[in-house]
Amino acid sequence: MADAGSFPAVRTTCPYCGVGCGVLARQRPDGSVGIEGDPDHPANFGKLCSKGAALAETLDLDGRLLHPEIMGQRASWDAATELVAHTFRQTIEQHGPDSVAFYVSGQLLTEDYYVANKLMKGFIGSANIDTNSRLCMASSVAGHKRAFGSDTVPVSYQDLEQADLVVLSGSNLAWCHPVLFQRLLAARDARPELKIVVIDPRRTVTAEQADLHLPIRSGGDVALFNGLLFWLLDHGKADFDFITRHTNGAEAAIDAAGGQDLAEIASGTGLSETQLRCFYDLFAEHEKVVTVYSQGVNQAADGTDRVNAIINCHLLTGRIGREGAGPFSVTGQPNAMGGREVGGLANQLAAHMDIENPEHRSLVRDFWCSPTVAATPGLKAVDMFGAVADGRIKAIWIMATNPVVSMPDADVVRDALAACPFVVVSDVERHTDTTDLAHVLLPAAAWGEKDGTVTNSERRISRQRSFLPLPGETRPDWRIICNVAQAMGHGAGFDYADPHAIFDEHARLSDVANQGRRDFDIGGLSGLDQLDYDGLKPVRWPAPKSPESAAQIFSDGHFFTADGKSRFVALRVAAISKPCAGSFILSTGRIRDQWHTMTRTGRSARLSQHLAEPFVEIHPTDAWRLALRPADLVRLSRRGRQYLARVLITDAQQQGILFAPMHWTAQGSSAARVDVLVDDITDPVSGQPALKSTHVRASRLEADWFGFGISLSRPDLRQQVYWATARIETGFRFECASTGPLPITDSTEAFLGFEPDAACEVLNYSDHHRGIYRFALFRKDQLVGAFFCADTAVAVEREWLIGQLGQTITDPAQQHRILAGRPGDGNAGPGAMVCACNNVGAQTITEAISVGANTVRCVGERTGAGTGCGSCQGEIGRMLRHSRKSETV
Ligand code: SF4
């Protein structure tokens, strides 16, 4: 416990991205929770991004799964546990261990992950356990293993700050790892000689703040880094001493890379020769280079090759294992690294040991005293759901994730689960697109209620601590898994009293027969007593029993291969598949203020305002060709499936490429599960799906009317062609559109989600000539809902209206302003949310710019925007540039 401030704080860790920021959570006597960044945590030193700062807004119990359910009916824990254990046992007896599977998540704590993996691989005897981290960084794992012989991330956040050149490849760090990006910008402010290069087909907010942006063609990565490899050799930058003593395979890799001249590389990457020279020279000139890569590299059919193309360049120059240098995969999930450590991927054993290695198998089996250990890798995520679809898997347990939204070919996954004989889901939410298909629902503890450890992108293990009581009948995941294991007859192996006991076993296993043979060693953390575990400070692994062997990893040139040398991988540039005429390449990704499938961030009204409905980014020329105007709706389609969203026309997007967010679900939109469009193509080495290169068609969505509304209740929009809802402080906002007559027939109350109520008074306005219809609903002068409908996109002051919902409005003139959708008296309202930390809208920022705020800092001083976590500074910069451009025009 820390004691800063008026109430004692619990030190814990943010549950969102792989930066792994430390959080101070304070529960006040009135039950509310205060959240701050932990100034002593070495990942963030007190900073939080908009998502972390809004954690307190996601803790309410509305919509939580609080009791076990069997077939939609409340059940006791005993009945649910027995049913799961019995059905899994029976299925295994009848069809063998590979007829069952666990699909787990980077949201699980390491202790949860450890027991899930132990149960599947050591006691059921199958390796059919895979994690949603497969979708995020499996190509990095595979690339590390090919190059280093181990899944080792060799770089720390401090290295990033100490580098002279940071290359961000396929990483929108400003939005996806905001606190790390702010650390990088602060390092550049302090040392302007630090240069940042961004390689990304989109001009993201990260790219806009870089010294050099390379808008690479989708799929050009291997060509770019192969070209760099040869350039470095050609310009005398190869470290032959390092290559000779610490690597294998350099010659073959150089041979494979050297086949293309600059003009060919330019044509393969879509970059100019000048851009290539500039990047190659920068890389050659700087000894201290960190190359950061993320989903843009990993989520590709050649993702592992892309990773190795990057690592090859670091091996050639010996820029690895040194301060301020190395390849750096940053993870999307909060505990993707912890999952890798315990063997949460279908092709790994516990403690970074290998399934294919008989010595490792017998070591783990002896340590666990288990009846068996899976001898072959299990099914990776895409293959796992394929096996559910074709009936090979007959019972699946999904923990803390939502594959019906996040998996490629998501409708096939949905249909497979709907047809699967037995689906168990443990989750914190009652209704997700996946829980709705479960036969058994097991209520799990949420962030703030559970206790254990997580590992962030720089290999730092931190405690996630509970500060809230377990609500309803919820249980921590480790306990749920252990109870099922015991009911299956494996009592002795799962008789843990608490997460501390599990962590101790995990630490001891990492130490067995290790002595520097394996990279993952936290033997020094074994034997902690409860007090030490409770007080564990953030620590990077390796943390062996003898601390002297914990020096910077790879600094001695020793790698975890049979001969101790790292390996170059020879890579040839594959042909890029081009979309057929009239098609686009669709890239999916994340946005600043949402996390995964919104099960947590979607609860925060503040976070839901930045981008409140699903969208598609498209280049102006492509929009013109499709006759799309700003704020139109667009339909993306592929193989009979569709995605409907608002169009965002922007020259930040390349021609021929579209971008759509991965967050929206069937709970909050009519057709915005974008992964229904994505093929189940995977990288052949890592099994990671290619989520950024789907070929789709696009067209304008024709509608007879468009609507915007606000309501204290959740509206019922299921009859409309297009709809999307988002939480606001007092209720819900929604956008919709459809063909045919207006949706308001008999009852405005029912449309807005209310029971018909005689006490309600409706004010309405219609202008058939202009295609306008509006109404506002008051109950005893309180505004409980309003709806605005037109035959084109609705133009009203949305943020101002949202602020009026729930207010008591007695002044008739003000009531009529609600109907007009504008504050009147020349006021413009705050505009769309830009700064989620300080609630500052676009209109407020525009006004500040118009009266002389000409830098991001000035805008911050006048409005507060950008002075919280800093993630919106890129957007403010964009607004400033836009205003300068308009003045010039
Ligand atoms: Fe959480 Fe933001 Fe830190 Fe990521 S950067 S861990 S989302 S506070």
Question: Which residues are bridge partners to 733 per DSSP?
Answer: 710, 726
45-64 pLDDT, tens per residue? 999 999 999 999 999 999 99
Of ligand 1's atoms, which has the minimum distance to the CA of residue 43? 3
Look at residue 371 in the predicted model and tell me its pLDDT: 94
CB-based contact 394:100 (threshold 8 Å): yes
Mean pLDDT of all residues belonging to the chain: 92
C-alpha of residue 543 to centroid of ligand 1, in Å = 25
Residue 578 makes CB contacts below 8 A (sequence gap 6+) with none
Instruction: Give the pairing of strands 100-104 and 129-131.
Output: parallel
Look at residue 889 in the predicted model and tell me its pLDDT: 47
Rounded distance, CA 250 to CA 571, Å?
Answer: 11
Distances in whole angstroms, Cα of residue 119 to Cα of each of 49, 260, 609: 36, 50, 42
Look at residue 269 in the predicted model and tell me its pLDDT: 95
Amino acid identity at 225: F
> Which range has the worst mean pLDDT, 76-80, 305-309, 375-379, 828-832?
828-832
User: Band of the pLDDT at 849, cuts 50, 70, 90?
Assistant: confident
Question: Which residues are bridge partners to 26 per DSSP?
Answer: 9, 34
Sheet strands (E) in 53-98: 69-70, 73-74
Look at residue 760 in the predicted model and tell me its pLDDT: 81
- 267-270-273 Cα angle (round to 5): 70
C-alpha of residue 18 to centroid of ligand 1, in Å = 7
C-alpha of residue 275 to centroid of ligand 1, in Å = 33
- Would you list the DSSP string of 819-880? HHTS--TT-----SEEETTTTEEHHHHHHHHHTT--SHHHHHHHH-TTSSSSTTHHHHHHHH
Rounded distance, CA 431 to CA 771, Å?
Answer: 37
C-alpha of residue 37 to centroid of ligand 1, in Å = 10
**Residue 5 predicted with pLDDT over 60:** no
C-alpha of residue 865 to centroid of ligand 1, in Å = 19
Output the six-digit token pair for 863. 């409005």
> Which range has the worst mean pLDDT, 243-247, 478-482, 862-866?
862-866
- 613-860-163 Cα angle (round to 5): 90
C-alpha of residue 410 to centroid of ligand 1, in Å = 27
Instruction: Give the pairing of strands 326-329 and 395-399.
Output: unpaired
Rounded distance, CA 829 to CA 823, Å?
Answer: 7
52 lines ligand 1 (CB under 6 A): yes
Helix (H), strand (E) at residue 195: strand 195-199
Of ligand 1's atoms, which has the minimum distance to the CA of residue 180? 5
Of ligand 1's atoms, which has the minimum distance to the CA of residue 44? 3
Q: Quote the DSSP letter at residue 689.
A: B
CA torsion sign for 876, 878, 880, 883 is negative
Residue 662 makes CB contacts below 8 A (sequence gap 6+) with 405, 406, 588, 589, 590, 596, 597, 674, 675, 691
Mutate to test the pocket of ligand 1, among 49, 294, 869 (most ligand atoms within 8 A of CB): 49
CB-based contact 499:115 (threshold 8 Å): no
Of ligand 1's atoms, which has the minimum distance to the CA of residue 19? 6
CB-based contact 453:503 (threshold 8 Å): yes
Distances in whole angstroms, Cα of residue 533 to Cα of each of 9, 468, 512, 723: 17, 19, 20, 48
Distances in whole angstroms, Cα of residue 860 to Cα of each of 347, 800, 864, 869: 49, 22, 5, 12
**Alpha helices, H only, 655-797:** 748-751
Rounded distance, CA 318 to CA 327, Å?
Answer: 11
Mutate to test the pocket of ligand 1, among 13, 17, 24 (most ligand atoms within 8 A of CB): 17
**Residue 30 predicted with pLDDT over 50:** yes
21 lines ligand 1 (CB under 6 A): yes
Rounded distance, CA 486 to CA 78, Å?
Answer: 12
Burial of 809 (0-12, 13-18, 19+ CB in 10 A): middle
Rounded distance, CA 360 to CA 749, Å?
Answer: 65
Rounded distance, CA 725 to CA 744, Å?
Answer: 18
Instruction: Give the pairing of strands 395-399 and 212-214.
Output: unpaired
C-alpha of residue 43 to centroid of ligand 1, in Å = 10
User: Band of the pLDDT at 839, cuts 50, 70, 90?
Assistant: confident
User: Band of the pLDDT at 718, cuts 50, 70, 90?
Assistant: confident
CB-based contact 44:22 (threshold 8 Å): yes
Burial of 53 (0-12, 13-18, 19+ CB in 10 A): buried
Distances in whole angstroms, Cα of residue 626 to Cα of each of 580, 623, 739: 16, 5, 20
C-alpha of residue 92 to centroid of ligand 1, in Å = 41
862-887 pLDDT, tens per residue? 888 888 888 788 888 888 887 876 66
Residue 411 makes CB contacts below 8 A (sequence gap 6+) with 641, 676
Distances in whole angstroms, Cα of residue 145 to Cα of each of 10, 140, 188, 559: 37, 8, 32, 10
CB-based contact 351:341 (threshold 8 Å): yes
Mutate to test the pocket of ligand 1, among 179, 607, 837 (most ligand atoms within 8 A of CB): 179
Look at residue 838 in the predicted model and tell me its pLDDT: 81
Cα 123 to chain centroid distance, Å, stands at 31
409-459 pLDDT, tens per residue? 999 999 999 999 999 999 999 999 999 999 999 999 999 999 999 999 999
Cα 329 to chain centroid distance, Å, stands at 14
Look at residue 592 in the predicted model and tell me its pLDDT: 86
Quote the pTM value. 0.93
CA torsion sign for 609, 614, 617, 623 is negative
Of ligand 1's atoms, which has the minimum distance to the CA of residue 178? 5
- 646-647-653 Cα angle (round to 5): 140
Mutate to test the pocket of ligand 1, among 13, 14, 160, 872 (most ligand atoms within 8 A of CB): 14
Of ligand 1's atoms, which has the minimum distance to the CA of residue 13? 6
645-661 pLDDT, tens per residue? 999 999 999 999 999 99
Instruction: Give the pairing of strands 289-293 and 165-169.
Output: parallel
Tell me the percentage of the chain whose pLDDT exceeds 90.
78
Mutate to test the pocket of ligand 1, among 13, 41, 51, 663 (most ligand atoms within 8 A of CB): 51
Output the six-digit token pair for 541. 């692994």
CB-based contact 2:24 (threshold 8 Å): yes
Helix (H), strand (E) at residue 766: strand 760-767
179 lines ligand 1 (CB under 6 A): yes
Nearest CA to ligand 1 atom 4: 17
42 lines ligand 1 (CB under 6 A): no
Residue 241 makes CB contacts below 8 A (sequence gap 6+) with 318
Mean pLDDT in residue range 819-835: 79
600-627 pLDDT, tens per residue? 888 888 888 888 899 999 999 999 999 9
C-alpha of residue 688 to centroid of ligand 1, in Å = 24
- 3-state SS assignment for residue 150: coil
CB atoms within 10 A of CB 245: 12
> Which range has the worst mean pLDDT, 91-95, 286-290, 544-548, 560-564?
544-548
> Which has the closest alpha carbon to 567: 341, 316, 838, 224?
316
Nearest CA to ligand 1 atom 3: 21
16 lines ligand 1 (CB under 6 A): yes
